C-alpha cells in the first residue's frame, strides 16, 4: 500500500482576497473549483504548476468570525529558486511575519493568519 500527499486545506473568510494573495505572493493558480448547489461553500484547489500537491481553500458562507488557528504551529513550506527576490517581494507586500536568518528561512502569513515558510532551493 502506497500513500502520497494530495492536498492541504485552509479555511478562508474572503475567498477573492485569499486567491489574490496566493497568486501574487506565491504564483499559485486555480486548478479546479467546487461550488455547493445551495451556495453554502466554495472549494478552490490551487497548484504551483510543478508538483501535483494542491492547496485547498474552503470558503463557508455562514462563517461569521475569524478561524481559530490555535498557536499556529503548523505551516506549509515553499522552496524558491531566488530567495532574495522572494524576500524583497514579500517585504514589499508587508506579509513577512517571522524571520530566522540563522536558519536562512522566513515566514509570511496569508490574509487569514496562516503561516507559510519560505526556504531557499538549496536547503
pLDDT of residue 73: 78
> Nearest 5°: phi and psi at 49?
80, 5
pLDDT of residue 4: 84
Give all strands (DSSP E) within 17-86, no chain letters. Answer: 29-35, 41-47, 54-60, 75-80
CB atoms within 10 A of CB 106: 20
pLDDT in single tens digits along all 123 residues of the chain: 887 889 999 999 999 999 999 999 999 999 999 999 999 999 999 999 999 999 999 999 999 999 998 877 789 999 999 999 999 999 999 999 999 999 999 999 999 999 999 999 987
State how far the alpha carbon of 18 is from the alpha carbons of 45, 55, 96, 111, in Å.
Answer: 12, 12, 16, 6
* CA gap 76, 107 in Å, rounded: 10
By the 10 Å C-beta count (0-12 exposed, 13-18 middle, 19+ buried), 15 is classed as middle
98 CA to centre of own chain: 16
Say how many CA atoms lie within 13 Å of 88 toward its Cβ.
Answer: 4
pLDDT of residue 74: 82
- Give the position of cell 527576490: 85
Domains contained in the chain, CATH given: 1-64 (3.10.180.10), 72-123 (3.10.180.10)
pTM: 0.91
- Give the position of cell 496562516: 114
Amino acid at each position: 500500500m502506497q500513500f502520497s500527499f494530495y492536498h492541504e486545506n485552509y479555511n478562508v473568510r474572503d475567498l477573492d482576497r485569499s486567491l489574490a494573495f496566493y497568486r501574487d505572493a506565491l504564483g499559485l493558480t486555480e486548478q479546479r473549483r467546487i461550488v455547493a448547489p445551495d451556495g453554502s461553500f466554495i472549494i478552490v484547489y490551487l497548484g504551483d504548476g510543478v508538483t501535483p500537491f494542491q492547496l485547498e481553500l474552503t470558503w463557508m458562507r455562514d462563517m461569521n468570525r475569524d478561524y481559530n488557528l490555535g498557536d499556529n504551529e503548523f505551516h506549509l513550506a515553499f522552496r524558491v529558486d531566488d530567495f532574495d527576490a522572494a524576500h524583497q517581494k514579500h517585504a514589499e507586500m508587508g506579509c513577512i511575519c517571522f524571520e530566522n536568518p540563522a536558519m536562512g528561512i522566513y515566514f509570511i502569513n496569508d490574509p487569514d493568519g496562516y503561516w507559510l515558510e519560505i526556504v531557499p532551493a538549496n536547503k
